[in-house]
Amino acid sequence: MEYIKSNKVVLIGDGAVGSSYAFALVAQGVADELVIIDLAEEKVKGDVMDLNHAAPYGGSPIKIKAGSYKDCDNADIVVIICWRCSKKGETRLDLIEKNTKIFKNIVSEVMDSGFDGIFLVATNPVDVLTYVTREVSGLPKEKVIGSGTILDTARFKYELAEEFGVSDRSVHGQIIGEHGDSELAVWSQANIAGQPLYQLLKDDPERQHRIEEIFVNTRDAAYDIIQAKGATYYGIAMGLVHITKAILNNQNLVLTVSSYLEGEYDQKGVYVGVPTKINRQGAVKVFEIPLSEEEERLFNNSVNILKEMQNKISHLIA
């Protein structure tokens, strides 16, 4: 049969996040082909059957199959969400090193297929593993994107929407920096219809404390969810689908993804969560959101933490 080019996504990692992403992709009708790769072959087999049975009621026709790295040759996007979790006694650095080695193998295999599309990375620590993906693949920076603070920004919007009683669609607020403990809220720019939310809270003695609470709820949401049900997956899955749609439908959406800085924010050589225009070419432009002095200090601190992590694993990818 003649092969007709379609929107093709390859998903590597069919765990809690990966399978939620696959389901959302089918439900929303975002791609025409989805190939799933995971070491857990039986799990993939089951998910492929289940998803193919969901497809007739999904957003648009889609073919789903289990595959191998060879399937990446003509993929538009390869999404990497696989990881090995930590074992007892392992430090955070042990875990990062272990996942860096896994990424080195996986990205090399994908590139050996002849892949020339866009990598979308979500495995944690996402900023560092996105850097690893870029270094190992040798692809231009626009073609390697991390999920960055897309989920954190959604959490911030949720908190603000609840606080001010409007839809999350009407709230403008962003979390930037590391996807992790050193991230920051850009309070100086957060607004609803141009009304500065920081000032609104600060000027109200009864609500001042909410400034800190809203940020802490945002930053620490993952800990609370993990405590309650073991892992977080729906939020990031929807964030990843949002990025996938922005790429495949050439949407020019500005999203807080992990992008490679080359002088923006006076920083270079690092992947970090910043507002970035996303279209069919990938992460094409980083937007420099105006920051207050304190926000600039926090952002630089976050970048330094990421650079330190990058340096610690750079010998593994040299």
Ligand X SMILES: NC(=O)c1ccc[n+]([C@@H]2O[C@H](COP(=O)([O-])OP(=O)(O)OC[C@H]3O[C@@H](n4cnc5c(N)ncnc54)[C@H](O)[C@@H]3O)[C@@H](O)[C@H]2O)c1
Least separation in angstroms between residue 16's CB and ligand X is 4
* Contact predicate 53/70, CB 8 Å: no
Number of residues that bind ligand X (CB under 6 A): 29
Q: Does 122 bind ligand X (CB under 6 A)?
A: yes
Q: Kind and range of the H or E element at 30?
A: none
Distance CA 128, CA 123 (A): 9
270 contacts ligand X (rule: CB under 6 A): no
Contact 271, 259 (CB under 8 A): yes
Please tell me whether residue 81 binds ligand X under the rule CB under 6 A: yes
18 versus 173: smaller Cβ distance to ligand X? 18
Q: Does 123 bind ligand X (CB under 6 A)?
A: yes
Residue 30, amino acid: V
Residue 165 C-beta: closest distance to ligand X, Å: 27
Q: How far is the CB of 191 from ligand X (least distance, A)?
A: 25
Give the pair of three-digit tokens for residue 93. 């650095």
Residue 261's SS3 state is strand
For ligand X, which is the closer residue by CB, 67 or 173? 67
Region 198-237 residues binding ligand X, contact defined as CB under 6 A = 231-233, 236
Q: Where are the beta strands (DSSP E) in 49-193?
A: 63-66, 77-80, 118-121, 144-146, 175-176, 184-185, 191-192
Candidates 126, 186, 286, 303; binder of ligand X (CB under 6 A) is 126
Q: Residues with catalytic annotation?
A: 179
- Contact between 107 and ligand X by CB under 6 A: the answer reads no
Which residues make beta-bridge pairs with 175?
Answer: 185
**CB neighbourhood size of 228 (10 A):** 8
- Which residues in this chain contact ligand X in the complex, by CB under 6 A? 12-18, 37-40, 81-85, 102, 106, 122-124, 126, 147, 151, 179, 231-233, 236
